[in-house]
Amino acid sequence: MTGTGRAGTAAPIAVGDQAPDFSLKDNHGRTVRLADFRGGAAGHGGGGEGGGAGDPDHDGKNVVLVFYPFAFTGVCAGELGALRDALPAFVNDDTQLLAVSTDSIHTLRIFAEQEGLEYPLLSDFWPHGQTSRAYGIFDEDKGCALRGTFVIDRTGIVRWSVVNALPDARDLDQYVKALAAL
């Protein structure tokens, strides 16, 4: 992990930790819960838009959880565009990509349309940064998430992560390698 322990942020959650659950609205106003991607009895509650958590026949999905500072900024648009261009590696029968920022759902809807992003953009707008704080990557001074990525397995355990400073783009090839190791 890189870029941790900066002023204005808590330490990010560690590999091997249970990923903090969340319930956030996506760019279409739908509720997305991390628990919905857990397999079998490990899931909490009934199915939902993520599909079937709590159903013993549901295998769940690995989740690539990507936090980014703000829509409509150069580095963020570049990173999310690279994920769009490699989408089959991140959205398939085994994996779901979720991108989170502190922007409103309305901003995220326009951003997704403009950039051609066809994966969920989740709003951590209110309570402002609550999910980013739970993952230890909210920059209190800037009021946004750092560039944090967490690969979470089907049981909800963080298996890989990287946290970069605001101006530093991430290498998506690292995500592919982390998923291949699951």
What is Dmax (Cα atoms) for the chain? Answer: 45
Structure letter (DSSP) for residue 2: -
Q: Is 76 a catalytic residue?
A: yes
Q: Catalytic residue, from 76, 91, 145, 179: name it.
A: 76
Do residues 8 and 139 lie in contact, with contact meaning Cβ atoms separated by under 8 Å? yes
Supply the angle between the helices 74-85 and 172-180 in degrees, to the nearest 10.
40
Q: How many CB atoms lie within 10 A of CB 126?
A: 10
Active site residues per annotation? 76
